[in-house]
Structure 1
Amino acid sequence: MGQGLYIETRIRADLDTLWTHTQHPSRHQRWDLRFTEIDHLPRAEGEPQHFRYATRVLPFLTVAGTGISAGERQRPDGTRTSALRFASPHPLSLLAEGRGYWRYVPDGDGIRFLTGYDYRPRWGTLGTLADRALFRPLMGWATAWSFDRLRLWLERGITPERALRHWLAELSVRALLLTLACTGLGAESLLGLFGPLAAPMAYLWPLLLVVAGCLAVLASPLPCTPAARRCLRTPPPHARAPRLLRTLENPR
Structure 2
Amino acid sequence: MGHAGLYIEARIRADLDELWSRTQEPAQHQRWDLRFTEIALLPRADGEPQRFRYATRVLPFLTVAGTGVSAGERERPDGTRTSALRFASPHPLSLLAKGSGYWRYLPDGDGVRFLTGYDYRPRWGVVGALADRVLFRPLIGWATAWSFDRLRLWLERGITPERARANWLSELLVRTLVIVLACTGFGYGRLLRLTGPFAPLFFYATPLLTLVALSLALCAPPLSGTPAARRCLRTPPTRVRAPRLLRTLENR
TM over 0.5: yes
Alignment of 1:20-169 (within 5 A): 20-169=21-170
Aligned-partner Cα distance in 2 for 1:241–1:229: 24
- CA 1:162/1:196 → structure 2, altered by over 3 Å: closer, same or farther? farther
Q: Which amino acid aligns with 2:91?
A: H
Deviates more, 1:196-205 or 1:231-240: 196-205
Q: Which amino acid aligns with 1:33?
A: L
CA-to-aligned-CA distance 1:132-174 (integer Å, 9 cap, x gap): 0000000000000000000000000000000001001111111
Q: Identity across aligned pairs (percent)? A: 76
The answer as to 2:4 corresponding to 1:6 is no
Q: Which amino acid aligns with 1:57?
A: V
Deviates more, 1:194-203 or 1:29-38: 194-203
- CA 1:28/1:194 → structure 2, altered by over 3 Å: closer, same or farther? farther
Aligned-partner Cα distance in 2 for 1:194–1:10: 49
Alignment of 1:182-197 (within 5 A): 182-197=183-198
Deviates more, 1:116-125 or 1:44-53: 44-53
- CA 1:193/1:75 → structure 2, altered by over 3 Å: closer, same or farther? farther
CA-to-aligned-CA distance 1:196-218 (integer Å, 9 cap, x gap): 54443222221111000000111
- CA 1:139/1:206 → structure 2, altered by over 3 Å: closer, same or farther? same
Q: Secondary structure at the match of 1:39?
A: strand
1:195, distance to aligned residue in structure 2 (A): 4.9
Aligned-partner Cα distance in 1 for 2:175–2:203: 23
1:250, distance to aligned residue in structure 2 (A): 5.2
1:243, distance to aligned residue in structure 2 (A): 0.2
1:189, distance to aligned residue in structure 2 (A): 2.6
CA contact (8 A) 1:88 1:95 kept: yes
Q: Identify unmatched segments of 5+ residues in structure 2.
A: none
Please report the RMSD computed on the Cα atoms of aligned residues, expressed in angstroms. Answer: 1.3
Q: Identify unmatched segments of 5+ residues in structure 1.
A: none
CA contact (8 A) 1:86 1:250 kept: no
Aligned-partner Cα distance in 1 for 2:187–2:119: 47
Aligned-partner Cα distance in 2 for 1:86–1:182: 45
1:178, distance to aligned residue in structure 2 (A): 1.6
Deviates more, 1:190-199 or 1:135-144: 190-199
The answer as to 2:170 corresponding to 1:176 is no
CA contact (8 A) 1:68 1:250 kept: no
Aligned-partner Cα distance in 2 for 1:10–1:192: 51
Q: TM-score, normalised by structure 2?
A: 0.96
Alignment of 1:206-245 (within 5 A): 206-245=207-246
CA contact (8 A) 1:83 1:245 kept: yes
- CA 1:210/1:50 → structure 2, altered by over 3 Å: closer, same or farther? same
1:42, distance to aligned residue in structure 2 (A): 1.3
Deviates more, 1:133-142 or 1:180-189: 180-189
Q: TM-score, normalised by structure 1?
A: 0.96
CA contact (8 A) 1:85 1:250 kept: no
